[in-house]
Structure 1
Amino acid sequence: MPQTRENDSQQRRSLLAQLDYVELAVSGRTSVVGSDLTDPGVMDWSAAATIRDPSDEVGTELESDLRVDGIALSTTTTADHGQVLTLFEADGIIIDLTRADDVFDALDARSADDAHFLPLFDGETGFSEIAEELDATLEIGASRVLIVHRVRIAPAWRGLGGVGRLLIGRTLAWMCTGSELVAVNPFPIDLGPHVSRDGELFADSLRQVQRTWASIGFNPFKDDIWIMDPALGAHERAIAEISRELGLD
C-alpha cells in the first residue's frame, strides 16, 4: 500500500509538470443569416485542451508520462505533430442579446437542453432581456449570456488539485468580455444511461459536480440552473487561487 501511494504521488507530480505543454483551443460558429432553425445572435462554441506527442526537444520524461492510463479523452494523428492527445473538452452557446432576433425561438428550436435555460430570459417580445429577478442581482447589465453545455476531463487529470477547474477558468477568460452572464446546468454526464437518477450514486455524483461549480463562483438560480457573474470577481479569484495551489504562479 505505501508503494502504491508513492507511485500515485509521483504520477501526480509528473502530470502536473506537463501542464507547461498543454495548449487550449477555443472556437465558435454561427449563422450569417437567420432562418427558422438558426439565429445569427447565437453562436456555438467549443474548447479543447491538448498535449502533443513528445518531440526531441521535450524529452523522454514527457513521453513516459503520456503513457499513463486514462490520460486522454481521445487521440488524433496529424501530419505536423504526430499524435495529439485531448485531455479536456467543453462546449456550449453564446447568446448576444443585442443581435438575437428571438431568444425564445432560438433556444426552443435548437434542443430541449437549450430550452432549459429560458428562465434566464424575459421580455414582452422574444424573451430578449435578462429576467428581471436575475438582472437585479447582477453587478452590471449583461448583454451576452454564455451557456456551458458539457465539460469533460480525462480520468488521469481528475483529482489533481483543480486542473479541470483551471481549464474551465482559462476557457471562460477567453470568451468573457465583461458583459456576460455565465450559466450551466451541473450534471454528472459520465455515469452512463444505466445509472438511475433516483439512486444514491447519481445523488452523490450530482452533489460532487455542484460542489465543483460552486468552488469557482457559480450559484444556484432556479430549475437546476447555476449562474456566475464575472463582474463580481469570485470566479476570477477562485481560478487564481487554484493556479497558485498548482504552483503555476
Structure 2
Amino acid sequence: MAARRRDSDLSRQLLAQLEWVELHHSSQASLAGSDETDPGTSDWWASATVRVLPDEDEADGIQPWYKAEGTALSTKQLDEESSDVTIFEANGLTIDLQHVEDVHDALDARSEDYAKFIPLFGGRDQFGFVTLQDDLEDQIESLGTHVVIIDRVRLAPAWRGLGGVGRLLAGRLLRWVCADPRLVAVLPFPISLDSALLKDDSTFEPALEQVRRTWAALGFRPATGRLWIMDPADETHQNAVTQMEKTLGL
C-alpha cells in the first residue's frame, strides 16, 4: 500500500512539471555531397527537458521528484543552482522529395535501420520529384514534399503510463520537424528491451504490441512490411494530440 502511495505521489509531481517542459530540436544538412551527405536529406535530434533549481524539500530531507528512480534519461548541471533534466529524446531524418538525389543510396549509406525505409519510395514523377511506392501514392492525401522518418524515441521510465506524456511530446515535436510533410514513417520496436529479452518471445511480442498501440494512438497505421505511416492530412493525428492535451490539462 505504501509503495502504491509513493508511486501515486510521484506521478502527481511529474504531471505538475509538464508546464515547465521545453522541447529542443536541431538539424544538420550538407551543402553538397551524395549518399549520407545528400543535400536533400537532413538529420534531426530532439529532447524535452525540465530546468530544476534547489528544492526546499530537499533541504528538509525530502527527495525531489527529479532524483527519484527512472525520472530522467540524463541530467546536465548548468551552474551551482540549476540543472536540466532530460525526460525525452528522439532523432530521425527528413527527406526532401524535390531535391534528394538518390533516396535509396541516402538511406542505405546511413545505416541498416534507415535502409529498412527504402520500400516506402518509388521512382520519379514527370517533374523530377521522388515518388512514394505506388500503393502509398494512392492512399496519402497530403501534398507536401518532405518525408519524415522517426528513428528512435525514448521516454524516461517514470513518465510512462501517465496518460500519454510520451505521445504528446512526440506529437508536439512533429509540429516542428514536419515543415512541409508528405508522410511520417516509423518502424515500431521496443528499443528499451535489452538484447537477452529481445530473444524471448514471451517478453518481446507484448512489448512490440505495446509500442504499436502507442503509435496507433497517434494516428499511425501499418504500411509495408513492418513500417507504420501517418498521413499529415488525416485529422486522426491532430485530434489525438488535442485530446491528450486536454487529458493532461495543457
Q: 5 Å matches for 1:62-77? A: 64-77=64-77
Q: 2:108 — aligned with what?
A: 108
Task: Name 1:171's counterpart in structure 2.
Answer: 173
Match among 142, 159, 165 for residue 140 of structure 1: 142
CA contact (8 A) 2:121 2:130 kept: yes
Deviations, residues 57-112 of structure 1 (Å, cap 9, x unaligned): xx659982222211100111224873211100000000001111111111111111
Counterpart position of 2:201: 199
Q: State the SS of the aligned residue for 2:49.
A: strand
The match for 2:31 is: 32
SS in 2 for 1:28: strand
Counterpart CA distance in 1 for 2:182 and 2:24 is 20
CA contact (8 A) 2:72 2:87 kept: yes
Give yes or no for contact 1:48–1:87 (8 Å, CA) kept in 2.
yes
Does structure 1 conserve the Cα–Cα contact (< 8 Å) formed by 2:35 and 2:107?
no
Residue correspondence of structure 1 range 43-122 to structure 2 within 5 A:
43-54=42-53, 60=57, 64-79=64-79, 82-122=82-122
Q: Which amino acid aligns with 2:213?
A: R
Q: Name the residue aligned to 2:9.
A: 10
Residue aligned with 2:195, SS: coil
1:181 and 2:211 correspond: no
Count of paired positions: 245
Extract unaligned runs of 5+ from structure 1: none
CA separation of 1:92/1:80 partners in 2, compared to 1, >3 Å: closer, same or farther? farther
For 2:129 and 2:113, how far apart are their aligned partners in 1? 17
Which segment is superposed worse, 7-16 or 164-173? Answer: 7-16
Q: Percent identity?
A: 49
Change (3 A) 1:49 1:101: same
Corresponding position of 2:151: 149
- Distance in 2, matches of 1:196 and 1:179, equals 33
Partners in 1 of 2:78 and 2:139 — Cα distance?
47
CA deviation after TM superposition for structure 1 residue 7, in Å: 2.5
Distance 1:60 1:173, change over 3 A: farther
Q: Secondary structure at the match of 2:37?
A: coil
Letter in 2 for 1:45: W
Q: TM-score by structure 1 length?
A: 0.91
Note closer, same or farther for the CA distance 1:119–1:95 as it changes in structure 2 (3 Å cut).
same
Decide which moves more: 201-210 or 66-75.
Answer: 66-75
Task: Write the distance in 2 (CA, Å) between the matches of 1:18 and 1:198.
Answer: 36
CA shift for structure 1 position 134:
0.1
Contact 2:40 2:97 in 1 (8 A): yes
Supply the distance in 1 between the matched residues of 2:64 and 2:8 (Cα, whole angstroms): 16
Deviation, 1:206, is 0.3
Shift of 1:178: 4.5
Choose 146-155 or 198-207, whichever is displaced more: 198-207
Aligned residues of 1:74 and 1:87 also touching (Cα < 8 A): yes
Q: 1:174 to 1:196 in 2, by over 3 A?
A: closer
Q: CA separation in 1, counterparts of 2:194 and 2:95? A: 30
TM-score (norm 2): 0.91
Give structure 2 stretches of 5+ with no counterpart: none
